[in-house]
Amino acid sequence: MMNISICRALSLVGLIASFLISTAYAQNSDDDTASLYLAKACAGCHGVDGRSPVKPYYPKVAGQNEAYLYNQLRDLKNGSRSNSQSNIMKGIMTAVSDEEMRAIAAWLAKQ
């Protein structure tokens, strides 16, 4: 009997600890992505919050659908999205990896 309650207590402690760790991790990775967004100069055109572009014809990128954002970043990088404005992004995207695009798309969708 005693052993069972100790087991239960320990597994509860484990659950709480893993919850706290995953919450802290999510927090850190959001901060990391915010720094990445700044480091890759995205804020210079789209604004720190992704919704205050420096020119009226630059898009607001925050709060859009995550899959849509990822697809646009990928297509801008590989050139399949191509219009008179796309070259501006194409140059920037050469320095952004697929993994970084996924992280930034997920982060922007939550802003």
For ligand HEC, the binding residues (CB under 6 A) are 40-42, 44-46, 58-59, 61, 69, 72-73, 81, 83, 85-86, 88-89, 92, 96, 104
Min dist. Cβ of residue 26 to ligand HEC (A):
20
Structure tokens at 15: 């659950």
> Which of 24/88 has CB closer to ligand HEC?
88
> Which of 7/38 has CB closer to ligand HEC?
38
Q: How far apart are CA 30 and CA 41, in angstroms?
A: 17
The answer to whether 86 and 93 are in contact (CB under 8 A) is no
Min dist. Cβ of residue 88 to ligand HEC (A):
4
- Tell me how crowded residue 33 is: count the other CB atoms within 10 A of its CB: 19
> Which of 19/40 has CB closer to ligand HEC?
40
Min dist. Cβ of residue 29 to ligand HEC (A):
16
The answer to whether 103 and 33 are in contact (CB under 8 A) is yes
The dihedral region occupied by 97, where left means phi > 0, alpha psi between -120 and 50, and beta the remainder, is: beta
Min dist. Cβ of residue 104 to ligand HEC (A):
5
